[in-house]
Structure 1
Amino acid sequence: MTDIRERLLAAFELEHKDHLAAIREALHAAEQDPAYVPDLAEIHRRAHSLKGAARAVDLPEVERLSHWLEAVFLAVQRGSVPLDAAARAVVRHALDAIEDVVAWATRGGNAVETAGVLADLARLGGEAGGPEPVQRRPQADAPAAPPPRPVTAAPENPAPGTVSVLRGAAPSLVRIRSAGLERLFNTAAGLLPEIENQSALVEQLHELRGEWRALERSWNAIRPQVGRSLDSRGARGRADDGAARLLSFERRFRALGAALDAAHRSHDRHLWSLRRWSGGLQEEVKQLRMLPAESQFSGLGRMIREMSRAQGKEVEVDIRGLETQADRVVLQRLKDPVLHLARNAVTHGVETPRERVAAGKPAAATVVFEASVTGSRLVLRVEDDGRGLNAAAVARRAVDRGLLTEEEAAAAAPDQLLGLIFEPGFSTADRTTELAGRGMGLAIVRQEATRLQGTVTLTDRPGGGTVATVAVPLSLLSQRLVFVAVEDDILALPGGDVARVMRLPADQLLTDLTTPTVRLEEEDVPVASLAGLLGYDAPPMPAAGTGAVLALAVVRAGGRRLALLVDELLTTRDAVVTAAEEVGIDAARFLGTVLLDDGSPALVLNPAGLAPQAGAALPPLARAEDAPRRRHHILVVDDSITTRTLEKSILEAHGYRVTLCVDGREALETLSELEDVDLIISDVEMPRMDGFALLRAVKGNPLTADLPVILVTSRASDEDRERGLDLGADAYIVKTRFDQNELLAGIRRLL
């Protein structure tokens, strides 16, 4: 009997969500459009079906709530009760209570108090002569009983250390330790790049085959000259030792060629097989991690309604896209940020009913949560039709906290003011409550989005209100990347954000408009130099009639397509993208880093962060006649290939020319050869010659004594800092507190 009841509860858990969603959708439509007449017979039928299903699984409280819901809808049908805002609020409260009782029955916890909502339902529907009352004693009056054993269905919040895996049309639950599953994920994530790196071995085998073919051609050229001698001596039986050795060499040489060909064919076959099966493993593991957004956000609507009731506000909640699939870990880590955004919308955005009516708005506000997929990114949007962003209040609070002067606040652009909202401790609330005022909510949102290699934006909603958008990668596993070359750098673009790559004759570029465009699928797509967007000195456009071909990567950015002009389109492959917080890269423009075949890192670009804001102009394409400006030359000295490569990318992205050195000794040798170095950025702990010794040598040489030096090191002690400054360092930056804006500001100050 227990197994039968578990199966019934599992089925009911799915069925009741369908009924509740249909009723909520009808209520929301009635709220949005006063002229809309909901199908009262249909929602009455839903309540009736819910009551029967609850009776079948022995959930008397759900049955009782459904009974009085049915009575209310019957009263509305008869016209004795209007489906006004007050009635809708009671119905929503009842729907939330049903969800709570079902959650108690399937997952345990504290018993649910339903006496209040039952009284409200009875007040609305009792006078209408509702259906025959349920002859059951209310659960609230009964002694507390232990909840049934949890059913075999996916729990909303699995026990710590376990993961629920559902497969097939009829879900069955498998519990495994999350630590073991994570190890499987990490193994799969690391396997594919290693297999892709086999391409280097393929190249080596190809080169060996080329060398052997060259030797074979040389041997074939001299073979006729020695062949007659070998053949004639062999025929007379007087082949000397030299001839025998030459014959043996030829046999072994031919055998080596055959073995090399066989090894190459075998490697190709095995590599193809490895790629096929590892690709399948990677995809299966990725799908294993994918869960619907409902797994984390199914209770969001109820939470918003309860919060709004506690604050004396009326809120209609519109939840969309809960079927959207994303990485389990991504969804889990975004749950708290979304709750912060929702709390912010209700507390700061939504007005009281009286304020809304006075402003000519409906008494009930609307809060929308939507999950969707754009390219390879999960997009979560929290929107409200409340009072909107108060830029003046933000500016006043920024001045009060000393973040801006009054003059700076008055001249600040809206984007700059909105950026302050995400600062820790920043809040425009007049007082601190349990829900708001501490100024940590949006700071937590941005911090988590950044850790997930994503972005968060806050914008005004057309018509009033606010829209908060979080965009992060769908999965933390490997991503399909498109690699491009810009000047001397190799950069990567997320494959999901790349609509197409193409090569286009320069003559086909449309340059009559303010912004150069290219015609694609009956659409004029603007063209921008990726070098220009990153702050490099963009190479000049080839003149018309030269027959030059442009390399373009067409990306989706800022709600539109944008053709990025690059130096070269390199390759497309799957790779693991890792965050690079330790070197402080700009998370708005860079998602993280990926390792190349030679072990050096490449920056992964965020197309959404590259595109200018709506209405802003793209950087112009340089023309051949444009005179190039001089770029300041910076010497970066660090023994870590990751650090120096990333620092090079950051500096070049802001218009500097960079030369790299692995230690202080190489830096001194480079300085003796170059005459145009304007500044040095150096690590301290390096082999052969450390940063302190380099600093002493630079400042002690009259030819370089005036050269600014910035030390960027992990040594955070006061003694090391004082030593560096005493030796003449112009700035001392600790890596653990590294901020690229601080570094760039220091460079601008010194240059």
Structure 2
Amino acid sequence: MDELLEQFLIEGRDLIAQAADDCTALVSDGSARQAIDSAFRAVHTLKGSAAIVSLLPMESMLHAAEDLLGAARSSSQPISAAAARALLSCIDQCDRWIDALASQGRIADDADGIAAGISAQLRALAGDSPAEPGRVPTRYDAWAKALVEAEGEAIAAAGARGQRLSAIRYLPREDCFFAGDDPLALIGSVPGLIAVRVAAREDWPLLDQFDPYRCMLAIDALSTAELADVRSVFRLIPDQVEVVATGPALATPEPAVIPQAAADPTIRVEAEQVDRLLDLMGELLIARNEFGTVAEKSVRTGGEASLRASGATMDRVLRDMHRAVMAMRMVPVDRVLRRIARMVRDTAPKLGREVEVKLQGMETKVDKAIADALFDPLLHLARNALDHGIEVPDRRLAAGKPARGEITLSAHSSGGQVVVTLADDGQGIDPAVMRELAVKRGLHSADGAAALTDEAAMQLVFAPGFSSAAEITDLSGRGVGMDAVKAAVERLGGRVVLDSSPGKGTRVSAHLPATAALTSVLTVTVAGQQFAVPMDSVVQTARISPGAVRPVGTGEAFVIRDRTVPLLDLARLLGLGGERPAGDLRVLVIEGPEGLVGFAVDDFSSRSEVILRPMTGLLSAVPVVAGTTLTGDGSILFILNLGEVVA
């Protein structure tokens, strides 16, 4: 990836996040001077960065946003809510283009038209005349047309050779010499020059008034080089140069095309964290050397205590190193939540909704793998909140609510977990309606549905294929996708909590592990093969005499602590077959949705801490298997998710 582009993608996302925060604050309070100043600085810097990488549509659009914010700064007048929302639309569009650059290496062909439309809206709100629709405004159309007419022969010759020309207008700053610029040398370094015209921008002063350190030049030029190559010459002074593609007649600027850029694989790491990891590496090397010395001595003298102490030291260092590496992988959730907020703002008008998005806890950090996987379930929740949660303005007003709905995206840390919540102030979920739909869709009988508590009735939204929407749309009701939300969060080792009040709104929270930490597992033997089960899913282990197992219907059960527990044969569930070992049964007891469930295994083995590697690719669809890990002898150990068996 080009170094400038790579830096732009990193810096651009930070600037967009800052500008979005400021513009969101201005929607609520347009007189917040600190937010206006901060937004102006972010937009101004982003505009300059866009010019450096030759993103003309983004540059022109941000120029209009900068003018609006600059006018508000100089006049001390508040920014209207409509202007703040227009600024947010501008920032959201920049965010989309940066995503496109990162994933596809280019922005869309319609970028010029989009930029022109948003620029016109911003200028109208700032009190300026709107720009010509469908075209990115240029400041020097007149000079470019004059240059085309004056250099017609050169253009014709280039056209005969199949070349397309770039027209350049360079207006050096009056104090450019003090910045170390040499305008003539700079224009001379442009590749493919075929014509250069140098003139004064204004009448030359009298000799006694002449200032030799003031630059008064206006330089026009034609080049056969590509636009990107020409602009790269002036990348450090983009505000002094205008470059357009031209031919027999003036053409609009080409949409920016940037070399292919991969999706953002980077993590920002503080220097202190790298230093800590380096220190731990040093400790580990010392511990390894000590272990080798102690092991050699133990062979000769039988010093088992020293060997255990040295092993404990290595274990401590490895744990500290693991924590240090996991800390380096921690990233703020703001990037994910901002993308969801952008989607809400884009989609709400298409559905006839007016929605304000609030973001809270953006600094909360989570493991990068979890942050990357969090987008899809949150996207389902946001779509459902828009389509079946937030009412249209007329219905909200009739219900005594503000016409504009509110969706809040928040995150906070709780113990070793991160809780990410999407809440709306819409119509909520009506348990009575859910009971009717359960009967209609065959999930419950009439009596069974009537016996459901309000909480149980609302939980039906997580049933596969269940929808409370009256009709199917592109963004259907709270049932479509909710089972996918639950499954996605559970795959990450989390759980989903739903809370809703009819007429008041709905809150859905995903409780997720903050880091992909070490997982404590219990190794068991099933049909002669070893598997592992996460310890946090095991309620207890037990030995049951064969006589304590009783047939119940088509299955088996046993009694433990005065509770009847169904018994399942894990070997048969895994398709391994085989006979149960003679003697007492070894049973794993876990907590299922309907209560305790026992799994018969051949034997229990050791308890250990491992790093769980989730299944990927085609193997990600394998049921019951949560992931794998490596054992001490290098073999692969499958880690089972027994909760899927009884779900």
TM-score under structure 2 length normalisation: 0.57
Matched letter for residue 329 of structure 1:
A
* Partner Cα distance (1:335, 1:96) in 2: 17
* Partner Cα distance (1:669, 1:110) in 2: 64
Report the Cα offset of residue 56 of structure 1. Answer: 5.1
Matched letter for residue 299 of structure 1:
R
* Partner Cα distance (2:97, 2:320) in 1: 42
Does 2:81 correspond to 1:167?
A: no
1:299 counterpart SS class: helix
Report the Cα offset of residue 333 of structure 1. Answer: 2.5
* Partner Cα distance (2:504, 2:428) in 1: 6
Report the Cα offset of residue 413 of structure 1. Answer: 0.7
Structure 1 residue runs without a partner (length 5+): 31-36, 173-187, 199-254, 480-574, 583-597, 608-631, 638-643, 671-679, 688-713, 715-734, 742-751
Q: Which residue of 1 aligns with 2:582?
A: 666
Q: Which residue of 1 aligns with 2:116?
A: 115
1:666 counterpart SS class: coil
Question: How does 1:686-697 map onto structure 2 within 5 Å?
Answer: none
2:432 counterpart SS class: helix
Q: Deviations over 1:339-383 (max 9, x none)?
A: 111111111111112222222222221111112221111211001
Q: Which residue of 1 aligns with 2:611?
A: none
Does 2:549 correspond to 1:635?
A: yes
Matched letter for residue 635 of structure 1:
V
Question: How does 1:414-493 map onto structure 2 within 5 Å?
Answer: 414-436=454-476, 439-460=479-500, 464-479=504-519
Matched letter for residue 58 of structure 2:
V
Q: Deviations over 1:438-491 (max 9, x none)?
A: 944001011122223321121026981110011122233315xxxxxxxxxxxx
Q: 1:64 aligns with which of 60, 66, 87?
A: 60
Question: How does 1:529-568 map onto structure 2 within 5 Å?
Answer: none
2:327 counterpart SS class: helix
Q: Which residue of 2 aligns with 1:701?
A: none
Q: Which residue of 2 aligns with 1:259?
A: 301
Does 2:575 correspond to 1:656?
A: no
Decide whether the 8 Å contact of 1:314 with 1:364 is kept in 2. yes
Q: Residue 101 and residue 380 in structure 1: after superposition, are their counterparts in 2 closer, same or farther (change >3 A)?
A: same
1:164 counterpart SS class: coil
Matched letter for residue 61 of structure 1:
P
Q: 1:55 aligns with which of 38, 48, 60?
A: 48
TM-score under structure 1 length normalisation: 0.50
Report the Cα offset of residue 426 of structure 1. Answer: 0.6
Matched letter for residue 339 of structure 1:
L
Q: Which residue of 1 aligns with 2:15?
A: 15
Q: 1:147 aligns with which of 258, 261, 266?
A: 258
Decide whether the 8 Å contact of 2:421 with 2:508 is kept in 1. yes
Report the Cα offset of residue 420 of structure 1. Answer: 1.0
Decide whether the 8 Å contact of 2:345 with 2:355 is kept in 1. yes
* Partner Cα distance (1:53, 1:681) in 2: 60
Q: Which residue of 1 aligns with 2:346?
A: 306
Q: Residue 472 and residue 80 in structure 1: after superposition, are their counterparts in 2 closer, same or farther (change >3 A)?
A: closer
Q: Residue 634 and residue 297 in structure 1: after superposition, are their counterparts in 2 closer, same or farther (change >3 A)?
A: farther
Matched letter for residue 96 of structure 2:
D
1:167 counterpart SS class: coil
1:429 counterpart SS class: coil
* Partner Cα distance (2:102, 2:584) in 1: 71
Decide whether the 8 Å contact of 1:376 with 1:474 is kept in 2. yes
Decide whether the 8 Å contact of 1:449 with 1:456 is kept in 2. yes
Decide whether the 8 Å contact of 1:389 with 1:460 is kept in 2. yes
Report the Cα offset of residue 9 of structure 1. Answer: 6.0
Q: Which residue of 1 aligns with 2:248?
A: none
CA RMSD of aligned residues (A): 5.1
Identical residues among aligned pairs (%):
25
Number of residue pairs the alignment of both structures matches: 442
Q: Residue 54 and residue 67 in structure 1: after superposition, are their counterparts in 2 closer, same or farther (change >3 A)?
A: closer
* Partner Cα distance (2:413, 2:585) in 1: 52
Question: How does 1:79-118 map onto structure 2 within 5 Å?
Answer: 86-104=82-100, 108-111=105-108, 112=111, 113-118=114-119
Q: Residue 145 and residue 16 in structure 1: after superposition, are their counterparts in 2 closer, same or farther (change >3 A)?
A: closer
Question: How does 1:711-722 map onto structure 2 within 5 Å?
Answer: none
Q: 2:399 aligns with which of 343, 355, 359?
A: 359
* Partner Cα distance (2:562, 2:405) in 1: 44
Matched letter for residue 65 of structure 1:
M
Decide whether the 8 Å contact of 1:350 with 1:384 is kept in 2. yes
1:428 counterpart SS class: coil
Q: Residue 12 and residue 455 in structure 1: after superposition, are their counterparts in 2 closer, same or farther (change >3 A)?
A: closer
* Partner Cα distance (2:378, 2:260) in 1: 31
Q: Residue 654 and residue 400 in structure 1: after superposition, are their counterparts in 2 closer, same or farther (change >3 A)?
A: farther
* Partner Cα distance (2:311, 2:548) in 1: 43
Q: Deviations over 1:217-268 (max 9, x none)?
A: xxxxxxxxxxxxxxxxxxxxxxxxxxxxxxxxxxxxxx999934xx123213
Report the Cα offset of residue 419 of structure 1. Answer: 1.7
Decide whether the 8 Å contact of 1:47 with 1:66 is kept in 2. no
* Partner Cα distance (1:606, 1:306) in 2: 45
Q: Which residue of 1 aligns with 2:25?
A: 25
Report the Cα offset of residue 303 of structure 1. Answer: 0.8
Report the Cα offset of residue 312 of structure 1. Answer: 1.6
Q: 1:382 aligns with which of 422, 431, 438?
A: 422
Report the Cα offset of residue 80 of structure 1. Answer: 12
2:517 counterpart SS class: coil
* Partner Cα distance (2:118, 2:272) in 1: 34
Q: Residue 147 and residue 456 in structure 1: after superposition, are their counterparts in 2 closer, same or farther (change >3 A)?
A: same
Bigger relative contact order, structure 1 or 2 (CA pairs below 8 A, ≥6 apart): 2
Matched letter for residue 117 of structure 2:
G
Decide whether the 8 Å contact of 2:337 with 2:409 is kept in 1. no
Q: Residue 87 and residue 394 in structure 1: after superposition, are their counterparts in 2 closer, same or farther (change >3 A)?
A: farther
Question: How does 1:107-506 map onto structure 2 within 5 Å?
Answer: 108-111=105-108, 112=111, 113-127=114-128, 135=139, 141-147=252-258, 150=261, 157-158=263-264, 163-168=265-270, 259-260=301-302, 263-436=303-476, 439-460=479-500, 464-479=504-519
Decide whether the 8 Å contact of 1:635 with 1:660 is kept in 2. no
* Partner Cα distance (1:90, 1:257) in 2: 76
Q: Residue 348 and residue 268 in structure 1: after superposition, are their counterparts in 2 closer, same or farther (change >3 A)?
A: same
Structure 2 residue runs without a partner (length 5+): 132-136, 140-241, 246-250, 275-280, 292-296, 540-545, 570-577, 587-596, 604-622, 624-640
Matched letter for residue 14 of structure 2:
L
Question: How does 1:694-709 map onto structure 2 within 5 Å?
Answer: none
Decide whether the 8 Å contact of 2:61 with 2:116 is kept in 1. no
Report the Cα offset of residue 432 of structure 1. Answer: 1.1
Decide whether the 8 Å contact of 1:425 with 1:438 is kept in 2. no
Matched letter for residue 66 of structure 1:
L
